[in-house]
Amino acid sequence: MKPITKPITTGALALVMTAVATPAAAQYGSMGSSLPPQPQQMPDVPRQQSQPQAAPQQQNKIQPSKKAMKALIELQDAVNKNDTANIPAKVAAAQAVAETKEDRYLLAQMQLKAALAASNNTAVAAAVDAIVASGYSSAADNSKLYESLGSIFSNNKQYAEAAAAYQKAAALDASDWRAPALAGEALLAGGQKEQALSAFQRAVRASSTGGNKPEENLYKRAVSVAYQAESPTALELANAWVAAYPSPSSWSDAIAIYRNYNLGDSEGTMDLLRLKQALGILTPGEYSTLARAAAEQLIFGEAHAVVDAGIQAKKIDPAGPDFRDLVAGLKTKARPTAADLAAATKIAANGKALMRIGDNYAALGDYASAVQAYKLAMAKPDGDAAIANLHIGMALARSGDKAGASAALNAVTGPRAVVAKYWLTYLAQKA
């Protein structure tokens, strides 16, 4: 088989791999509706009462210390009036007397309100840091606050600052996958592909906690970022995606990603096209590619079987220009029978010949004989245990022997291990 040097693209793959131009929050299904609002509004500071106990309607208000009460009320009045000339002095005065976490929280909230009114993002970030440092709010609330801060920076195209805010949010609430995903978007927008990929991997892990299944859009985005970064992680993420959301399009995309990463791997391409055939999702062009590859490797039984299956599925027109030469060429090549293969097994000189015999047995649906041929191939001096175990697992998977197939596929090491994982995913999804 001639090495494939042109990237494989399906319609769905093109969509997955295209950088999304919509706002980051809109890329994750329900994520957009779950984003926190802008940083919360400043709570009122209770005024000094003539009675020692607060009135009933004020019992839920945050109580500052007596020492800081006057300064905080004066700062609150200045902020509410947007008295920008006097706010800095009032802040300094309140900072000088703040002594409790309630004092510091109220002070930081007032600073936040003033910063938002001035559209000063640097001051907004400082105020959010101060709110968190006060120790008054819960980690979950602080995480949402940093997510909101990240949204402010992101909307202003301040991607480095946005990423930093989202990463702070993620550190505060490990169960929230949205924060690392949004950090990934900000990092990607800032051109930091590797760091973005790490953030998306973290988002997938966070979304998987407690037996949960990550949203499909998160998987697709993580795969896209890994693919853009040209990272081998794309293969692992693609396999996880198709394991969680099996469909003709996700399977086609996952396999296309492998093929694009291994354009010169003729045998790996064949083994994954065999997987697509088992899934029933070969395209007309892939029927041709697989049949031609089998013929070039002298696996004529498989080449005939693939063409026959394509014609039956109405994916191949034997008289059409794309298949005419293939069909004509195969007419000159005998389709081996079980007797032919049994005789060939007895005189096979090497492992490669036995692997071809096994593939021809598999094309006949005689998986037991195929497995025997693969085992004989493995024992030959030129035998490749990884490839033999892969083909044993493939044959047993198609025969319905899940336990045997799983054992063989899990024994595959080296470059073929990724192909084996795809087959293991298929095996887990078989009824």
pLDDT computed for residue 156 by the predictor: 94
* CATH topology agreement for domains 21-48+62-235 and 336-431: yes
Predicted local distance difference test score (pLDDT) of residue 358: 97
Q: Which CATH architecture has domain 21-48+62-235?
A: Alpha Horseshoe (1.25)
Q: Which DSSP helix (H) or strand (E) runs through 210?
A: none
Closest CA to 363 of 340, 322, 395: 395
Closest CA to 45 of 110, 123, 96: 110
Kindly tell me if the per-residue pLDDT of 32 is higher than 50. no
pLDDT value of residue 343: 97
Quick one: average pLDDT of 44-66?
A: 51
Check whether 112 has a pLDDT greater than 90.
Answer: yes
Give yes or no for residue 322 having a pLDDT over 80: yes
- pLDDT (mean) for 294-316: 93
| Angle formed at CA 343 by CA 338 and CA 345, multiple of 5 degrees | 95
- The Cα 411–Cα 390 span in angstroms is 8
CA gap 227, 261 in Å, rounded: 9
pLDDT (tens digit per residue) in 6-24: 455 554 444 444 433 333 4
The tens digit of pLDDT for each residue in 196-233 reads 999 999 999 999 987 889 999 999 999 999 999 999 99
Q: What is the DSSP letter of 3?
A: P
pLDDT digits 0-9 by tens, 376-390: 999 999 999 999 999
Give the whole-angstrom CA distance, residue 406 versus residue 56: 68
Query: CA 171, 176, 181 angle in degrees (round to 5)?
Result: 85
Residue 38: is its pLDDT beyond 80? Answer: no
The pLDDT-based confidence of 266 (bands split at 50, 70, 90) is: confident
pLDDT value at 50 more than 70 = no
63 and 102 Cβ atoms separated by less than 8 Å: yes
**Residue 287 scores a pLDDT above 60:** yes
Element (H, E) at 14: helix 11-17
What local confidence, expressed as pLDDT, does residue 371 receive?
Answer: 98
Given this model, what pLDDT does residue 409 score?
Answer: 98
pTM of the model: 0.80
Q: Is the pLDDT of residue 391 over 70?
A: yes
- The string of pLDDT tens digits covering residues 324-353 is 999 999 999 989 999 999 999 999 999 999
Please give the structure tokens belonging to residue 257.
Answer: 């990603």
Residue 130's pLDDT band, with cuts at 50, 70 and 90, is: very high
The mean per-residue pLDDT over the stretch 259-269 comes to: 89
* Residues contacting residue 50 through CB under 8 Å, at least 6 positions apart: none
Residue ranges covered by each domain of the chain: 21-48+62-235, 265-334, 336-431
Question: The domain at 336-431 falls in which architecture?
Answer: Alpha Horseshoe (1.25)
Per-residue pLDDT, averaged over 370-378, amounts to 97
For 162-178, how does the pLDDT look when each residue is reduced to its tens digit (9 = 90+)?
A: 999 999 999 999 888 99
What contacts 4, CB < 8 A, 6 or more positions away? 259, 263, 264, 266, 269, 289
Task: Please say if the pLDDT value at position 37 is more than 90.
Answer: no
Residue 44: the pLDDT is 55
Sequence-ordered alpha helix ranges (H) in 280-429: 284-296, 300-312, 324-331, 338-347, 351-364, 367-379, 385-399, 402-410, 417-429
Q: What was the pLDDT predicted at 10?
A: 52
Q: What is the pLDDT of residue 51?
A: 32
* pLDDT for the residue 209: 87
pLDDT surpassing 60 at residue 114: yes
Across the chain, mean pLDDT equals 87
Helix, coil or strand: residue 218: helix
Q: In percent, how much of the chain has pLDDT > 70?
A: 86
Flag whether pLDDT at 59 surpasses 60. no
Can you give the pLDDT at residue 18?
Answer: 41
CB-side neighbour CA atoms (13 Å) of 306? 33
- What's the pLDDT band for 61 if we cut at 50, 70, 90? confident
